[in-house]
Structure 1
Amino acid sequence: MQPFIKALTGALAAAALLLGAGVADADTSDLDASGDAGSSSSIDWKPCPEHTTAECGTLRLPIDWARPGGEKFDLAVARRKATDPDRRVGVLLVNPGGPGDSGVNFALERATTYFSADVRAKFDIVGFDPRGVGASSPVTCSRELIDRQPSAYPRDQAEFDRLAAYNRELRQDCREHSGPMFDHADTLGVVRDMDALRGALGEQKINYFGHSYGTLIGEQYAELYGDRIRAMALTANIDHSLGTREFLVSSAATAEDSFHEFVKWCDRSRSCALHGRDVTAVWDGLLTRADRGEIRDPDHPDQALTANAIAFTAVKEYFYGPDWAQLATYVATLDAQTATATATVAAKAETKAETTAQPFQAVFCQDWRVRAKDYPEYARLTAAERRAAPHMRGSPRVHAALAGCVGWPDEVNNPQHRLRVTKAPKILLMHSRHDPANNYSWVTNVRRQTRGTTVLLTYEGAGHRVYPRSDCTRDAADGYLTALKVPRDGSRCAAVDPDVGP
């Protein structure tokens, strides 16, 4: 399997987390097409098998909210109750992003160290696996078919046509393995599920913390159910109004910006393994050698690393933190390889399951109308992307996502549009100035679209994560969530030196 697909699918919650957990059917007579759930719906909570200090359960909901009496699926849910019940404020629904990350896994394994003690004391932290993800009727596909994915960089119309044909074959395969959920895995369905979950929890209003792709869930919930929000904090925001070219080019530009931030850090920091060298020249030379097949995967020395795989790893594994010292070591280690022989790209022999979880394209390609019609259009997009990021070779992460939609039907369930939020309270937007994945312009666009409803706090440093970056970012979010202390719009938190850390 190609590296970017492995990374895009992310870590999913195992269905075993919910073995033994209670299942409650929502009373569908109390559910209308808007996704409103009556208070009679409930979840039969039971201790989670591997996390007995938390509770797990499922909620049965419609697969197609336009047909609430039709086929159902079980929404997987996990809850950690407020550690100080006397100070309890309410529930805090959480989503860590993706698309494809597990909210159940986040609540069970990460929330206790991610959120402050004050937040954990005052909120029941509730994570759920979005429809099509983890233990919520997951989208699955044939592993053999995924493993023979063609290049996301076709060189002519014939290769573009082969990519489109492959995507259609994979789409049909995933539909056959996943059932009707495949056609309803979009974020708008998740939003309606989330409001049904609100009703099942017996809450008139919810609090929500969404990160990265989880901000799209929050934004669209605010559009539909703004009067059901007490507080909503969104970090590393998605701008769902972008067209194909703007989405791709802005993603590439922000990856390139993070590369330059890394270079500047390396120039001034003696802890950088490349300190004292021309870091840009080392990086460009490394990618050129990778183009010739001279760079091997350290974990699999018989396999070559492509330039795009190296760039993808830099963004996903090291820019997100940021973990610049580790990136410098990674680059220095690869650069030190000798070119005595040419490696080949080969699949590792191993025993594999027949199918594997693969929710990314099912969600992304139904949330975004991003379909290049032919090779000339695709080539123009690729050229624009690479002009915006000459050292990073564009944005391998987003390029792969767009490539996966080639050949899909034009119609999508949840097409891009400008946000229209009219009933919500003040929503807190937080974003890094040098986010490697979600361009800072995205949050300023969201802010303009929701003027009067949102406030923006900027972390002036680098990295995709915002809330845990510093005392400033954490205190601002905590004060807002726990006591509704809304930061001044335009507030800023100073950058933290990666040598020191948050």
Structure 2
Amino acid sequence: MSSFQLTSIILFLFFATQVLAVPHYSMNTHNSPETNPNIEWRTCKENDPPNLQCGQIKVPINHEAPHGGHFNLGFARLKSKNTSAIGNLIYNPGGPGGAGSAEVFAQAFLNVSIWTPELLAHYDIIGLDPRGTGLSNAMKCDPNTWNKRVSSTPKNEDEFNKLVAYNKAFGESCRNLTGPVFDFMDTESAAKDMDLVRRALGEEKLTFYGQSYGSQLGSTYAGLFPKNVGRMVLDGVMDPSQSSVAQVVMESNNGYETTLNKFFQWCNTTVECVLNGQDVAGIFDKMIATAESNPIPAPGCTPEGDEACRSDATSEEILAQVQIGLLGFSASPVFLGWPALSGAIAQAAQGNATLLSRPIKNTPSHPDFSFLGVGCKDWIATSKSYIDLALIRQMTGILSPHSRGNSQFYQIQSSCIGWPSPPTNNPHTLDPKKVAHSPPILLVNSFWDPSTPISSANALKTKIPNSVLILRNGSGHTSYLTFGKTTEAIDAFFVKGILPAQGTTFAS
């Protein structure tokens, strides 16, 4: 699962796709997609590397009415330079809202290492953009409405009503600007799209790597098409069969709070932490309490440009940004990581919350918009009143005293109240007997993941009887980008079909 703001690397890659001027594929509301869709391959931009292509296929807007309107589902392919490559590996980076094409462009143009040379030597990588993201009719919304400040933790009925009105207004802006796809951005529809891509590629089985939300997409696919599953890896595991409230409790307590406590411990024992040797938990709690009374100034923020952010930060905005900071590994070659997070917290504690201020959106398309577009179709906002929402926050606040019950699923719970398009995919219960027809699926999780905790991975494992769960004894959200022993195990499964023993724990 991602957050309102995706991790720094995903944002970077997303904006890279804009700079690279990738072609926009328009929607057509007439005719039906072919039973066996054909891929329209084309160059992505001028001076493409020879092994990069962009493609699209026609898919139904509504799979229940396949002869109605359709739109073009886009993706990017990074072809292996090895002529004896195994086949195609479809990739989803998470979110929801992340576009797989962004990582393909980053690897091709910017020399950012997303996949190992071993994997690139054996597979063509297909960066697929799920419906409503990237090249696939990306969701568009009014950024000015988004940028209005409304509390997601209302303290009374009046604030609750303002939240509901805000959600409705923002959602309506998205529906008006996005078109018919807005009402069909659920994960089950995206999984059916993915099977059409598999068929178009000429693959008998789907080879798939899904990170974070990508694990929900992958498990949903396995539930729908178990006999079409090939080698599948789900990294940073979600269990989509849990209720919305259960997800809030699981993530806020087992994920965010547990990882935050690990961060405090890391700070107390690691000189890389700016606050090393101090009462980090106490400093953090005091800083959040200060922001609850009055937003902390963010003097380094400006309202314009790609790095625009608010001029001050509330406690709930800071808590959301800290969770994003925890997604990075404590020592990572890709993400900013925990050392940078410790500096941001130290700076905010001194009265400057620039590094923890909520970004301002200045464009109509953004992964964070798509995050809600998918989330509000997949998860029921069970809170119907101020009391409902307050009780959830009170319960999670008791269980999670430092993070105050904040979580990405709470953001979905609070942001989808009043959303103009009702959910259609909640909860998506997997039938173990049906999924048992798939080959073994590899599940991967780190010990201290603030977004997808081990408890979620264990829960999904019980629903996929032939799955194998391996663990990484470390921090951060997902494991492939650590490029350690866990990465090697994932590569071995994709390339040679070698499965680690159940419960294997890697140090890196």
Residue 279 of structure 1 aligns with an amino acid whose one-letter code is V
Structure 1 residue 28 displacement after superposition: 4.7
Change (3 A) 1:21 1:418: closer
Question: 315, 320, 333: which one pairs with 1:312?
Answer: 320
- 1:23–1:43 CA contact under 8 A, matched in 2: no
1:138-157 superposed Cα distances (whole Å, 9 cap, x missing partner): 11112222222521111122
Return the TM-score normalized by structure 2.
0.86
Residue 92 of structure 1 aligns with an amino acid whose one-letter code is L
SS in 1 for 2:54: strand
SS in 1 for 2:194: helix
The whole-number CA distance in structure 2 between the counterparts of 1:397 and 1:21 is 30
SS in 1 for 2:481: coil
Partner residue in 2 for 1:404: 415
Change (3 A) 1:163 1:26: closer
Return the TM-score normalized by structure 1.
0.87
The whole-number CA distance in structure 2 between the counterparts of 1:80 and 1:23 is 25
1:489 aligns with 2:479: no
SS in 1 for 2:55: strand
- Larger of the two Rg values belongs to structure: 1
- 1:23–1:60 CA contact under 8 A, matched in 2: no
- 1:22–1:57 CA contact under 8 A, matched in 2: no
Change (3 A) 1:370 1:24: closer
The whole-number CA distance in structure 2 between the counterparts of 1:474 and 1:189 is 30
The answer to which of 161-170 and 11-20 deviates more is 11-20
Residue 23 of structure 2 aligns with an amino acid whose one-letter code is L
1:157 aligns with 2:170: no
The answer to which of 309-318 and 180-189 deviates more is 309-318
- 1:22–1:43 CA contact under 8 A, matched in 2: no
- 1:258–1:319 CA contact under 8 A, matched in 2: no
Change (3 A) 1:394 1:336: same
Q: Give structure 1 regions of 4+ aligned residues with deviation exceeding 4 angstroms.
A: 4-10, 20-30, 345-348
Partner residue in 2 for 1:69: 67
Partner residue in 1 for 2:486: 473
The answer to which of 320-329 and 440-449 deviates more is 320-329
SS in 1 for 2:480: coil
Residue 263 of structure 1 aligns with an amino acid whose one-letter code is F
1:190 aligns with 2:179: no
Q: Percent identity?
A: 27
Structure 1 residue 165 displacement after superposition: 2.4
Structure 1 residue 110 displacement after superposition: 4.2
Structure 1 residue 24 displacement after superposition: 12
1:72-110 superposed Cα distances (whole Å, 9 cap, x missing partner): 111111001112112x11100000000111111112214
- 2:33–2:59 CA contact under 8 A, matched in 1: no
Partner residue in 1 for 2:175: 175
- 1:24–1:58 CA contact under 8 A, matched in 2: no
1:174-213 superposed Cα distances (whole Å, 9 cap, x missing partner): 1111110000011111111111111111111121000000
Question: 399, 407, 410: which one pairs with 1:388?
Answer: 399
Structure 1 residue 335 displacement after superposition: 2.1
Structure 1 residue 290 displacement after superposition: 1.7
Question: 342, 349, 355: which one pairs with 1:335?
Answer: 349
1:84 aligns with 2:82: yes
Change (3 A) 1:346 1:180: closer
- 1:25–1:41 CA contact under 8 A, matched in 2: no
Structure 1 residue 173 displacement after superposition: 2.1
Structure 1 residue 235 displacement after superposition: 0.3
Residue 375 of structure 2 aligns with an amino acid whose one-letter code is F
The whole-number CA distance in structure 2 between the counterparts of 1:346 and 1:426 is 41
Which stretches in structure 1 are left out of the alignment for 5+ residues?
32-37, 340-344, 497-502
The whole-number CA distance in structure 2 between the counterparts of 1:212 and 1:100 is 11
Change (3 A) 1:319 1:66: closer
The whole-number CA distance in structure 2 between the counterparts of 1:328 and 1:8 is 16
SS in 2 for 1:378: helix
Structure 1 residue 293 displacement after superposition: 2.5
- 1:371–1:407 CA contact under 8 A, matched in 2: no
SS in 1 for 2:413: helix
Count residues in correspondence: 475
The answer to which of 319-328 and 435-444 deviates more is 319-328
The whole-number CA distance in structure 1 between the counterparts of 2:29 and 2:45 is 19
The whole-number CA distance in structure 1 between the counterparts of 2:359 and 2:500 is 51
The whole-number CA distance in structure 2 between the counterparts of 1:67 and 1:372 is 31
